[in-house]
C-alpha cells in the first residue's frame, strides 16, 4: 500500500497547454519513453491503463493537482475538472486546488471555494509557473488561508527546466523565510531541492511542518554517487525519516519504475513504509 503524491491523468483536461514545458520533454526523454510508447492508444485506453496501474500496484491514494496559470501562461487545469475526475473515479483520487496568487483576494476566495465546495484537500503553488518566489508577498494571503483551512501547500522547490522562468524563485532559503513567518503552515516541497538539496534538508530539519517529496526525480539517484541527492538518503533515513514522501510525477516516469526504485534503495522496511505511506498520511492530512 502506498500514496502517490504527484500524478497527472492522461486526459485532455490535465494536459499542458503552455510552451514553457517544452524543455521538460527533452530533460525527461528517457524516463518518459516507456510512457510515450503507449501514446498511439485511444484516450479511453490510456485512461484505463492509468487507472489499472494504480489498482494493481495497490495505491491507497493518488494526488491530482489543479494549476491556475492564467496570469502567466494563459491556461489552467481547472479545479472543477480535477474535482470531477476524483468524483468519477472514487476516493483513491484526491484533488489539490491550483491557485493563482496574482489574482489577489479572488485567489483566496478560489481556494476557499475549492476546499469547501469542491472537496479539494490541498493547495498547489507551482512557483516557477507562477513566476513568483516562494516568499513573494502575493503568496502570503494564500499561505494564511491554508492554515485557516488546515490544508497543506505544495510549493515547487529546486531547479525547473523551463527556460522562461528563473530558478531562483524556488530556492529553499525562500521557503525558510515563509516558515519563519508561518510556522503553522504545512508544506510539501517538491521536487526535493536539487541543486540545493542540503539547503532544503536544513529547512526541513529546522521546521517540523516541512515535508520533502521525491516527485520528478528517479528515487534511484538518491543512492547514485555524485548525483547531488545522496544526503537526502542519509538524512531521510535518520533525522528526517518522518518527513520524506513518494511521488511518481507520472507521466515524467512510469509509476512502476518509481516504485521499483524505492524498493531497491538501501533502507529498512520500516522506513520504506514511512516514505511510501505513513509520512504522506500526516503531510497530506489524511488521518
pLDDT value of position 160:
79
Check whether 88 has a pLDDT greater than 90: yes
Residues 99-129: tens digit of each pLDDT: 999 999 999 999 999 999 999 999 999 999 9
**Nearest residue to 125 via CA among 195, 53, 71:** 71
pLDDT, average across residues 209-217:
96
pLDDT at position 207 is 98
- Residues facing residue 212 across a β-bridge: 189, 244
Q: What is the pLDDT of residue 22?
A: 54
**For position 287, what pLDDT does the model report?**
73
Place 93 in a pLDDT band, splitting at 50, 70 and 90.
very high
Cα 99 from Cα 37, distance rounded (Å): 33
Grid cell, residue 166, equals 528563473
Task: Label residue 33 exposed, middle or buried (CB < 10 Å: 0-12, 13-18, 19+).
Answer: exposed
Q: What is the pLDDT of residues 246-273, one digit of tens each?
A: 999 999 999 999 999 999 999 999 999 9
46-82 tens-digit pLDDT: 999 999 999 999 999 999 999 999 999 999 999 999 9
Q: Which residue has the higher pLDDT, 17 or 178?
A: 178
pLDDT digits (tens, 9 = 90+) for 139-189: 999 999 999 999 999 999 998 776 778 889 999 999 999 999 999 999 999
Tell me the domains of the chain and their CATH numbers. 2-283 (3.20.20.140)
Give the position of cell 490510456.
46
What is the per-residue pLDDT for 149? Answer: 98
- 159/167 Cα distance (integer angstroms): 5
CA dist 82 to 10, 65, 93, Å? Answer: 12, 7, 9
Decide which of 205 and 165 is more confident: 205
Distance of CA 130 to the CA centre of its chain: 15
Whether 28 has a pLDDT exceeding 80, the answer reads no
pTM given for the model: 0.92
Q: Which band of pLDDT confidence, cut at 50, 70 and 90, is reported for residue 21?
A: low
Q: DSSP labels for the chain?
A: -EEEEEE--SSGGGS---GGGHHHHHHTHHHHHHHHTTTTS-HHHHHHHHHHHHHHTTEEEEEEE-EEETTTTSEEE-HHHHHHHHHHH-TTEEEEEE--GGGTHHHHHHHHHHHHTT----EEE-HHHHT--TT-GGGHHHHHHHHHHT--EEEE-S----TTS-GGGG-HHHHHHHHHH-TT--EEEES--TT-HHHHHHHHHH-TTEEEE-TTS-GGGGGSTTSS-HHHHHHHTTTTTTSEE----BTSS-HHHHHHHHHHSSS-HHHHHIIIIIHHHHHTT--
The pLDDT of 84-110, averaged and rounded, is 98
Amino acid at each position: 500500500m502506498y500514496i502517490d503524491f504527484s500524478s497527472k491523468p492522461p486526459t485532455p483536461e490535465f494536459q499542458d497547454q503552455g510552451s514553457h514545458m517544452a524543455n521538460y520533454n527533452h530533460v525527461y526523454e528517457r524516463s518518459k519513453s516507456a510512457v510515450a510508447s503507449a501514446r498511439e492508444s485511444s484516450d479511453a485506453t490510456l485512461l484505463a491503463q492509468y487507472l489499472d496501474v494504480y489498482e494493481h500496484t495497490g495505491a491507497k491514494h493518488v494526488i491530482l493537482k489543479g494549476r491556475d496559470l492564467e496570469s502567466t501562461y494563459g491556461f489552467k487545469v481547472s479545479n472543477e475538472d480535477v474535482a470531477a475526475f476524483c468524483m468519477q473515479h472514487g476516493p483513491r483520487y484526491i484533488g489539490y486546488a491550483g491557485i493563482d496568487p496574482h489574482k489577489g483576494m479572488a485567489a483566496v476566495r478560489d481556494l476557499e471555494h475549492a476546499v469547501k465546495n469542491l472537496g479539494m484537500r490541498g493547495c498547489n503553488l507551482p512557483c516557477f509557473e507562477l513566476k513568483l518566489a516562494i516568499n513573494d508577498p502575493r503568496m502570503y494571503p494564500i499561505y494564511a488561508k491554508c492554515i485557516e483551512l488546515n490544508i497543506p501547500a505544495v510549493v515547487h522547490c529546486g531547479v525547473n527546466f523551463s527556460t522562461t522562468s528563473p530558478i531562483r524563485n524556488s530556492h529553499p532559503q525562500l521557503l525558510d523565510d515563509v516558515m519563519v513567518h508561518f510556522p503553522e503552515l504545512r508544506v510539501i516541497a517538491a521536487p526535493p531541492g536539487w541543486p540545493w538539496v542540503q539547503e532544503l534538508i536544513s529547512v526541513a530539519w529546522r521546521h517540523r511542518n516541512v515535508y520533502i517529496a521525491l516527485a520528478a526525480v528517479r528515487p534511484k539517484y538518491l543512492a547514485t554517487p555524485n548525483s547531488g541527492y545522496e544526503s537526502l538518503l542519509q538524512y531521510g533515513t535518520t533525522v528526517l525519516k518522518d518527513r520524506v514522501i513518494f511521488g511518481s510525477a507520472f507521466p515524467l516516469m512510469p509509476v512502476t519504475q518509481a516504485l521499483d526504485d524505492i524498493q531497491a534503495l538501501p533502507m529498512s522496511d520500516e522506513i520504506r513504509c514511512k516514505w511510501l505511506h505513513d509520512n504522506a498520511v500526516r503531510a497530506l492530512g489524511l488521518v
